[in-house]
A and B are shown apart, each in its own frame.
Chain A
Amino acid sequence: MADAAGILIVGDVIDGQLGSTSKELLAAGRQIANNLNESVSIALLGSSTETAGTQAIESGADIVYLVNNPALESYHIDFHLAALKSLVDEISPRIILMGRTAEGRELAPRLAFRLGVGLAQDCLEVSIDTSNQTLLANRPVYGGSAVAVVSCEQTPQIAAIRPKAYEPLETDSNRSGETVSFPVELDTSIAKTKVTNVVKEESEGVKLEDARIVIAGGRGLGGPEPFSDLQNLADILGAGVGASRAAVDSGWVPYSYQVGLTGKTITPEIYITVAISGASQHMAGCSGSKVIVAINKDSEANIFKDAKYGVVGDWETILPAFTETVRELTQD
């Protein structure tokens, strides 16, 4: 693909609206497109994606591909892969940006393999070496203990970007862009997997990813009961409740609570951790928090390296007193 050019973003549409991941990817794409002096296009798969298409242009896209086929109505990996492959073959992008979301975790590597190219996985930042139009990607490795700078050797160069690594651009309703309908043929017999049931295990109360305040507990809590104390505090503050992998592995709370490399990525204004040691794998899911508060009895715990405020002591005494004071303060 010697004439490859431009940046293609694999977008997401949620209930007809452009997803937040798409907006973040558009911000990343816009930045590198300006360095390359090339255009940013976005692929929206499904039907009824016109509204999301307009929003994509307002958020930074130059071209919107409405990739449609009835089989793309709901997410299915095999159909989405085939549709994306058709689009990529048709438009030959230089760079593809995808989100490392629940779906992207599967879609990005499989698309890269199907195209026979490399993938820069789980990137926090991407930039362009303008001397050779190479995409340089910064990505945490070893559970976040180190950062690697990698690039892809073939075209298209693909990067999967960690959610919330980029801030969406200000929307501009005066931006103009082109919308292209891209119907694809799909053979429905290519579906190799079938979802037979979906079971929701959402944590109570505020959704973790959207919460302004998150309170999380770890192994040091010693059992499931203290999570109801965390929930009480969360109710006062309108906060979400999370957990470290250790607490989830112990069966104290379901997986939907898990913050970290293999759980949720959160970026609250304030993240209050109780009895969490702060292993790099946990920090990978919360390092974008504006302020981290640590309550831990071990003054040497890793968490104090990332926290802005800390209390060294026993959570069993600290949590009730903290909750009580918060209750008094917020009643004013």
Chain B
Amino acid sequence: MPLKIGVLAKQVIDPDMPTAAFSIDATAKEVTVPSTIPPVVNGFDENAVEAALQIKDSQEATVTVISSGPSFALDVMKKPLSMGADELVLIQDDGFKNTIDSFFTARLLSSAIEKLGGFDLIICGRQASDWDNAQVPLGVAELLGVACISLGRKVDVTPNSVIVEKIIPDGYEVVEADLPALVTVSNELGQPRYPTLRGIMAATRKKPTIWSASDLDLDAASLEPRLKLHDLFVPERDQICEIIEGDDDADSARLLALKLREAKLI
């Protein structure tokens, strides 16, 4: 039996867009971006796709990418397919606008996972670059009752277990768990592979499975909002920078050192 790997991925606003393009609709309490800046697959989720594909490189495995959201840019979400993933499942519903609610998202994704018959291994990015919640993967593990290892920088599987190098503040731990398990990965896993031309061609032909909320087994109580958003604003920065200018760069450097000494900072 090939190893069944699921990857959870999110479509996000491009975090590398120019700062000037970032604005907030205060009434809707939403971030708005110009339509000229396309969304992207969350960076850490691309690391998760890479981790899954590395396993697939060395053994028989299938990789299914699952995402939920109010709407999708299909060409963007097909990127994991062009990198080498096998299937794409999109859970799309207008009612999913409340993206801040990790509980809601985790509930959706875990029922989609159950509907897909479960996975031996689920790999996720450590957090999404929009709300930085870092909650959905851990929640999915809790809801499914599977082992959970977060912040992986290397993921290996044996026939019955997963072995992960988990980042800790001063190094890493080697952590093992029996399958089925869920692992979150961080950017230390390494640069995700680029789609190949062949991959892009194959992805074009693949049709994603698209479900709405009504296709999933969801009970009302578990979908009640857990969080309320009161306000969303751009923080003010009132720091004024004193630019130290000397005759040349070396002189500026000396003046900077003197300035810091004068201010008793060094």
Contact = CB atoms under 8 A, between A and B. Distances in A.
A310 B244 CA distance: 6
A196 B175 contact: yes
A145 B19 contact: yes
B138 A321 contact: no
A118 interface: yes
Given A121-B134, A200-B171, A264-B169, A146 B235 contact: yes
A153 B224 contact: yes
Interface in B212-266: 222, 224-235, 237, 239-245, 248-254, 256-261, 263, 265-266
Contact of B174 (A77, A192, A196, A256): A196
Contacts of B181: 192
Nearest to A200: B171
Contact of A142 (B15, B102, B147, B248): B15
Q: How large is the interface on A (under 10, 10 to 19, 20 to 34, 35 or more residues)?
A: 35 or more
Interface in A274-288: 280-281
Interface stretch (A30-38, A104-112, A224-232): A104-112
Interface string A77-108: 10000000000000000000000001001100
A274 to B, nearest CB: 11
Contact of A119 (B24, B102, B233): B102
B175 A195 contact: yes
Contacts, number: 257
Given A146-B232, A193-B149, A309 B256 contact: yes
A192 B232 contact: no
Given A153-B228, A307-B241, A319 B253 contact: yes
Contact of A102 (B169, B177, B256): B169
A120 B102 CA distance: 10
A122 interface: yes
A202 B230 CA distance: 41
Nearest to B224: A153
A305 B256 contact: no
A109 B139 contact: yes
B81 interface: no
Contact of A308 (B142, B174, B242): B242
Contacts of A299: 243
Contacts of A119: 102, 135, 226-227
A141 B132 contact: yes
B67 interface: no
A193 B148 contact: yes
B54 to A, nearest CB: 17
Q: Which of B150, B187, B191, B250 has the most CB of A within 10 A?
A: B250
A213 B178 CA distance: 44
Interface stretch (A6-14, A176-184, A322-330): A322-330
A310 B243 contact: yes
A71 interface: no
Nearest to A290: B265
A157 to B, nearest CB: 10
Interface string B131-149: 1111100110111001111
Nearest to A270: B265
Nearest to B248: A317
Contacts of A114: 142
Contacts of B222: 116
Contacts of A118: 101-103, 225-227
- For the residues of A in contact with B, the DSSP-based class is mixed
A154 B101 CA distance: 13
B215 to A, nearest CB: 23
Interface in A110-164: 110, 112-114, 116-122, 136, 140-154
Interface stretch (B82-90, B122-130, B199-207): B122-130
A109 B138 contact: yes
Contacts of A1: none
A202 B171 contact: yes
A198 B166 CA distance: 9
A245 B19 CA distance: 18
B230 A150 contact: yes
Interface in B148-206: 148-151, 153, 163, 167-178, 181, 186-188, 191
24 contacts: A105-B150, A105-B151, A109-B138, A143-B129, A148-B229, A148-B232, A150-B229, A153-B226, A193-B149, A197-B173, A255-B188, A269-B265, A270-B266, A293-B256, A306-B239, A308-B239, A311-B244, A311-B252, A312-B243, A312-B245, A320-B250, A321-B254, A325-B254, A325-B257
10 A-B pairs with least C-beta separation: A118-B226, A192-B147, A321-B253, A325-B257, A313-B249, A113-B142, A201-B171, A321-B250, A322-B253, A317-B249
Given A110-B142, A112-B135, A262-B126, 20 more contacts: A105-B134, A106-B138, A106-B148, A106-B150, A113-B135, A113-B143, A142-B129, A146-B233, A192-B181, A193-B176, A201-B172, A255-B167, A291-B265, A293-B260, A308-B241, A311-B245, A311-B256, A313-B249, A320-B250, A329-B261
